[in-house]
Structure 1
């Protein structure tokens, strides 16, 4: 959570599944601090039982979903356009505290640049719509 809490200017999140209330609060808190927050979530998982996507959307965060016949399976956060957090972990309580997954945080420029390009490509893709 410290990594998400550290953002000051922007936070872009592309996440397959988000059910952790603790992580949702970090995202909402960033928005309340004036951080520009954008979230992309998988279409099917956005309405999954326990999904926090609606809570995030109702707090005023911009949320988009790709309308695809397959899953948007990314798990990445871009913090202030300078650092990324990515790995196999789903943003669920089980994923964060139970499963054996990996999570990498890096500020390596080429990886951050690629993540920003990928995020913007999905955000602006014609099949991606605002979450209602």
Structure 2
């Protein structure tokens, strides 16, 4: 019987170092491209139409909010008073409140001045 403690375990070392190099290579390849498990695509068909209708309504609310805000600023109202008034106002078309939730589905880039407020 041979004593294995005297022999270097080159086979195991070679295997482990190869395994580590392979894992590092795979990580480098994967880092260069986006994850394929989750992608965001534009809504199409019925879902796209529903989304566009909801966003169109919220864009109208944003326009009404801007009109009210401009008029109240012209009259000298404070920002706090403007926000209180907007939270209590109803949309003249659909009847929904014009509070911050009325534009919450819009991207922040579309909300403009309202981004900081709601």
User: Which TM-score tier does this pair reach, normalised by the shorter chain?
Assistant: under 0.3
Structure whose residues are more often strand by fraction:
1
Larger Rg: 2
Structure that is richer in helix per residue: 2
